[in-house]
Amino acid sequence: MSTTKLLIILIAATALSVALNDWCFLPFDLRLLHDWQTLDPSYLGNSALVVGSVLTIIGFLVALKLSGGARFIAAIQIWAAALLITFLIRDFILCFPLPSCFLSSIAIGMFAASMSLDFHKDIAGEHDSVRFSQELQNKDLIEARLELIKQDEVDRRMLAADLHDQVLNDLKTLRQEISDLKSLTADDAKRLDQLVNRSMSGVRDVMDNLSPVDIEHLGLTESLRSCVEKAGERGGVSVSFESSAAAALDSRLSKIEATLLYRLVQESTNNILKHAGAEKIMGQVREEDGDLIVRIVDDGRGIESDKFASESRGMRYMRLRADLIGATLAWKARKSGSGTIVEIRFQSPAELIAGH
């Protein structure tokens, strides 16, 4: 609860305390003290007003720090101390001990503090409940997305296996039978062999796109290196790859998450070959300020500014994949020269905790 709200509640409690003392408890104390011939009723009224207000504030502040039986004990101690102090100084400042007024002031202050704390707990509980519900919904959504991705990967692997077991084997058989034919001229045999060989290479590329086997055989970072190098071979561009944080990256992601990261890099290199007109592709796996970063950099023509403002469907899909593996994805223009930087950033554990 904010300080302003607590102050408003305290002022209201003090006003109530003064009103009740003047209306109810002060007359009762006057009857208790009727044998004190020297007492002036106006002095008693001032005592009820000033000391009662002070005790209301003290009771309120003490109750904010204590709970249960500790509050009751503290109230009795404050009451006894107030009676003793006013008794000792009554001749100097004309302030007199008023048992019922003092006790009621303390009780009202503590009651107001108790009510404000209970209200604060209710509000905080509602906020915690809403936040927890949202976190559960987000977690369920992410898990549902991952399940879809897992099922998609299973389907891809099955299709890749079918291509290997059926189509690729059929092409191999066809290639062998063509080579055994005697009636074909050497030029025809060579042409058919090249055609079948190109088809087999295409099938292997499709299989690799559907189910990248490099991750299982080489590890994640080396499979990313292989992905960049294959893109360079297809596009006839030079490539380089830096992997100073390979161990950290390989140990961070699960098998499914590693596949999603591979596809992000694969999509980035495909986009470079299709649209950038680049002469060089550079891959980086490094650690900066505790964050793991995977970058794909090209020296091509770059992305137009309006494309950054309105992302394409492909860019949105890439961002979704990055979100599923707990990474942020950004496209940046190079500071020196032309080209684009695709940056996939995994925050450090400390930053993740601070974010929650």
**What is the CB neighbour count within 10 angstroms for residue 355?**
7
Report the distance separating Cα 120 and Cα 130, nearest Å. 15
- Contact present, 246 and 292 (Cβ < 8 Å): no
The ranges assigned to domains in the chain are 3-132, 212-356
| pTM (2 d.p.) | 0.49
* Fold entry, domain 212-356: Heat Shock Protein 90 (3.30.565)
Question: Which of 223, 324, 312 lies closest to 265 in space, CA to CA?
Answer: 223
User: What is the rounded distance in angstroms from the CA atom of residue 274 to the CA atom of residue 276?
Assistant: 6
Amino acid in position 250 = D
Reduce the DSSP state of residue 56 to 3 states and report it.
helix
What tens-digit pLDDT sequence spans the chain (356 residues)? 567 877 888 888 888 888 888 888 878 777 777 655 556 667 778 778 888 888 888 888 888 888 777 888 888 888 888 888 888 877 776 677 888 888 888 888 888 888 777 666 655 555 566 666 676 666 666 666 666 666 566 656 666 665 666 666 767 777 776 766 666 677 777 777 777 777 777 666 666 666 566 677 788 899 899 889 989 998 899 999 999 999 999 988 888 788 889 889 988 998 999 888 899 999 999 999 889 999 999 998 887 766 655 667 778 878 888 888 889 999 988 877 788 999 999 987 655 444 54
Are the C-beta atoms of 220 and 254 separated by less than 8 Å?
no
Partners of 243 in beta bridges: 285
